[in-house]
Homo-oligomer: A and B are copies of this chain.
Amino acid sequence: MEKEREPVRRPGGRAARVRAAVHQAVADLVGDRGYGNFTVGDVAARAGVADSSVYRRWGNLEALLSDVAATRLAATSPAPDTGSLEGDLRTYAATAARDVAGPDGTAILRLAISLSNSGQPGLEARDAFLAERTRQLQVMLDRARDRGEHPPDVLQVLDLILSPMYLRILFGTGPLTPAYVDELVDRLLILRTTTGG
């Protein structure tokens, strides 16, 4: 079966250069105008590529934004591997707090919310983004299980660590101090043992 022809992608080749230029253009436009205030045409013009190159590769603006956000978070905040569940959770929570409190993190949070409300392409982009973030977290929790520790599940991490942080940022109801972040981890550790996670 012959699939669609795709250009051969060498590292450092044209495809990689286009990807880097488009990602940079998105970052610039997000910085200048904020999410929601530019089009695929704007991105292509800023990157010096044809609109069709962007559509061919990403399909739509939502998928492109999601790819940029996921790439950025994966590069700046990989899941930690400190050798213990508690160490991993504390590092993970501290990094998540730093990310989400920064301008980039807040913008990504808003992006995820707006994707969740922009129809099917947005939902798919959001799911791809969340799946990638969840996968990294699951790897970290699986390592703890392999060491014989008793990790919480991904949803408990979401409910007890990420949700309270995200709400504080979205509503602006309090700073994410180190003491607060540590308390969130303490709660997760207590509940994991109490409820036998």
Contacts and interface: CB of A to CB of B under 8 A. Distances in A.
A162 interface: yes
Q: Is the interface of A mostly helix, strand, loop or mixed?
A: helix
B167 A163 contact: yes
Interface residues of A, number: 27
A80 to B, nearest CB: 22
A68 B158 CA distance: 31
Nearest to A116: B172
A116 B171 contact: yes
Copies of this subunit: 2
Interface string A158-172: 111011101100111
A128 B126 CA distance: 32
A113 interface: yes
Contact of A191 (B155, B166, B190): B190
Contacts of A72: none
Given A162-B167, A186-B195, A187-B187, 10 more contacts: A116-B172, A123-B172, A158-B164, A163-B163, A164-B164, A167-B167, A170-B170, A190-B191, A190-B195, A194-B194
Interface of A: 112-113, 116, 123, 126, 130, 155, 158-160, 162-164, 166-167, 170-174, 184, 186-187, 190-191, 194-195
